[in-house]
Amino acid sequence: MRVKVFVTPRKGILDPQGRAVESSLKGLGFTAVCGVSVGRFIVLDIEADSTDEARQITARMCEQLLANPIIEDYRFEVENG
Amino acid sequence: MRVKVFVTPRKGILDPQGRAVESSLKGLGFTAVCGVSVGRFIVLDIEADSTDEARQITARMCEQLLANPIIEDYRFEVENG
């Protein structure tokens, strides 16, 4: 089963990577940009008997390794098949 | 207008971050994992008069800065509003 995980900086938490990308984009002439946030996009293939099981495993992986819950939020989507 | 950009390692290109995460997950006991790819999830707010204009700006930003087209693929979604 394929799972897509989106990890994003929490609101109110400093996002230096986002600030750097925004500043670089403006330097390249992309003046229409007014906000950038940079996170991670993780795609996992996991063996699970059900979508529910896949969800449970993924939530544990996010809490333990994929995200830092103090400074990051995460959400994920489980694809069937 | 809000744009979500997904940058992923190209198929066939070495993804050391993905390999490291997979190995760490297995080390933590997540033996159901059989493949991990780590990319970036970038959210941008841009001022544009139309979805079409936003798409054109985003494609240029991806080619010039957000992705490395030699080793990465990208796709993006423009949200209305």
Of residues A5 and B14, the one with the higher pLDDT is: A5
Which residues in chain A are contacts of B64 at CB distance < 8 A? Answer: 28
ipTM: 0.92
B41 in a structural domain: no
B40 in a structural domain: no
B57 in a structural domain: yes
Contact criterion met (CB < 8 Å) for A36 and B28:
no
B81 has a pLDDT exceeding 80 = no
B60 has a pLDDT exceeding 70 = yes
Six token digits for residue A74: 């995460």
B44 in a structural domain: no
Burial bucket for residue B8 (CB in 10 Å: 0-12, 13-18, 19+)? buried
Q: What is the pLDDT averaged over residues B11-40?
A: 96
Give the structural domain span for A48. 2-79
B73 has a pLDDT exceeding 80 = yes
Q: Helix (H) and strand (E) counts for chain A?
A: 2, 3
Number of separate domains in chain A: 1
3-state secondary structure of A59: helix
A41 has a pLDDT exceeding 90 = yes
Does B41 touch chain A if contact means CB atoms closer than 8 Å?
yes
Query: In this structure, what CATH number is given to the domain that contains residue B27?
Result: 3.30.1280.10
Q: Which residues contact A43 (CB under 8 A, 6 or more apart)?
A: A2, A3, A4, A5, B8, B36, B37, B39
B9 within 8 A of B37, measured Cβ to Cβ: yes
Does A40 touch chain B if contact means CB atoms closer than 8 Å?
yes
B68 in a structural domain: yes
A80 has a pLDDT exceeding 80 = no
